[in-house]
Amino acid sequence: MCRLFALHAGERDVAAQFWLLDAPTSIARQSEKNADGYGMAALTSRRGMILIRNPVQASEDPAYRQVARRLDAAEMLVHLRYASTGNVSLVNTHPFSQDGRLFAHNGVVGDLDRIEARLGPNRAMVMGDTDSERFFALTPLVVIASERISDEPGWEEIHPGELIHVGADLEVDREMIVSGPPAHPMVLSAYEQKTQSYD
């Protein structure tokens, strides 16, 4: 079965060499039995990202060793593949990236015909032939934020008094339940105006 390693260090970057190379059962050591590919995704505290994937045994790959020695990150996801579904190839190597999201999986999903039937237009996001990547393509999402947080298309403003309901099928239902301006508008102090402004 595949192996996973995840790390979250909050707002600081930490070195990962111990877990990736030096620990008694390090990721490199575990790759001797899970030798069908590896992938590393890391995000630094300054939001720099690295994604490296290779369909080879991690412990035998100079690139893996070099990155593992030098990598300092606040968040990290490492996957070792033991191929159960799909060929040993780059497109089948985890973690997978779709729409700005990363996904790695340990285990067997199975029932590929059923998953394939449910994919619909999301099939275009699948590059390889693993059950894991197909399952990942079944997980679209709805993001709701206080204000637009990126330049991606699709953001819509939520108006005061509007109720948003997201169903299990991710259909978004919008209903105006309170009309008119707020009865008690919030008044920000000068300090709050300064600290809450993104201009």
The residues, any chain, with a CB within 8 Å of residue 86's CB and separated by 6 or more, are 92, 128, 129, 130, 131
Q: Which helix (H) or strand (E) is 194 found in, with range?
A: helix 190-195
The residues, any chain, with a CB within 8 Å of residue 100's CB and separated by 6 or more, are 152
Find out whether 37 and 88 touch, Cβ atoms under 8 Å.
yes
Q: How do residues 92-139 score in pLDDT, each as one tens digit?
A: 999 988 877 888 888 787 778 888 888 888 888 899 988 888 888 888
pLDDT at residue number 146: 60
pLDDT at residue number 162: 86
Could you say which residues of the chain have pLDDT below 50?
A: none
Distance CA 126, CA 96 (A): 9
pLDDT at residue number 195: 62
Find out whether 60 and 9 touch, Cβ atoms under 8 Å.
no
The residues, any chain, with a CB within 8 Å of residue 115's CB and separated by 6 or more, are 109, 131, 134, 135, 138
pLDDT at residue number 196: 57
pLDDT at residue number 81: 93
Find out whether 72 and 18 touch, Cβ atoms under 8 Å.
no
pLDDT at residue number 107: 79
pLDDT at residue number 54: 97
